[in-house]
Amino acid sequence: MMITIRFFAGLREALNQSSLSLDLAENATVGTVLQQLAELHPNLPLTGLAYAINRQYVTLEATLKPNDELALIPPVSGG
């Protein structure tokens, strides 16, 4: 199944792109996506993120469906 991953802030800058499509096995979770991204991009900072599927915040155990949009949101600090 295909999903779209959206990257924000430092992740977008590290990858030099704001999104990518990823082909996953059925019943893949957010954790599965992070494992695949870590294999594809070993230097990508994937800790301390917030996750949202179709604009709803979720946990690593959340299951993805075909055509879902997964947003990976790094911590934000202000000043």
Question: Distance (Å, rounded) from C-alpha 15 to C-alpha 11?
Answer: 6
* pTM for this model (two decimals): 0.91
Residue at 61 is within a domain: yes
Find the largest Cα–Cα distance for the chain.
Answer: 42
Domain harbouring 56, CATH code: 3.10.20.30
Q: Which residues form the domain of 68?
A: 2-73
Residue at 55 is within a domain: yes
**How many independent structural domains does the chain possess?**
1
pLDDT at 4 over 80: yes
Residue at 22 is within a domain: yes
Q: Indicate the pLDDT class of residue 76, thresholds 50, 70 and 90.
A: confident
Q: Indicate the pLDDT class of residue 56, thresholds 50, 70 and 90.
A: very high
Residue at 16 is within a domain: yes
